[in-house]
Structure 1
């Protein structure tokens, strides 16, 4: 994973809001976002969620009430949150957090469309390697 280029906005403030379950992040270009933990969790940049290539993404469900229980800094370019469901392998670069914040409306729509296409409810528990039903086009 490459470091940041000089033009990537840097965060000036990062706050974890447990009550509203959102990560508030302010950047030095004046942008400020409140990114819901659920959105971060379902779009985690980890291989466990993203798979190992296009079309390999693992649809995440049942994450509406997920919380962030810890955050570790990764160098000067990212954070690694630990979620209450035990997921902790996602490294969120500042650039990726900016992308999640700036495009969250579009990302929510894409997530809801994927749920709809798969015929899965957003609040359904995660199914470990379901045999059939999904993945057939």
Structure 2
């Protein structure tokens, strides 16, 4: 499905996408941690790299990639992810589940969304 409208909002750090009659707003953080790049996804199953400390990430730009995708340029220097229309639509449709899974992975890895925060799990005193 091809979006009928795409708007990059630098100040609010969101990407606005319209698919048919539905409008979606995806945060820069969400898109950065779900980038389809090899840096994030790896080169195969099990090679994913959990992205932490991206709560403040924003956009510096957006570029069309043919008629099938966009490249988002993030202010942390990441610019290698090519977001196809089908991948963006999937992110829109499954946002809540993907976001919760990401938060669960951060928690399990004792990592934080905030680059300036460390997470420590205390041992159960029993």
Aligned to 2:52: 61
Aligned to 1:36: 27
Q: TM-score w.r.t. structure 2 length?
A: 0.88
* Partner Cα distance (1:35, 1:61) in 2: 17
Q: 2:18 aligns with which of 15, 19, 26?
A: 26
Aligned to 2:86: 95
Counterpart secondary structure, 1:57: coil
For structure 2, the residue ranges without an aligned partner over 5 or more in a row are: 117-126
| RMSD of aligned Cα (Å) | 1.1
For structure 1, the residue ranges without an aligned partner over 5 or more in a row are: 1-8, 126-137
Displaced runs of 4 or more, over 4 A: none
Counterpart secondary structure, 2:4: strand
Q: TM-score w.r.t. structure 1 length?
A: 0.81
* Partner Cα distance (1:124, 1:117) in 2: 17
Structure 1 residue 108: Cα displacement: 0.8
Paired positions, count? 116
Does the alignment pair 1:10 with 2:2? Answer: yes
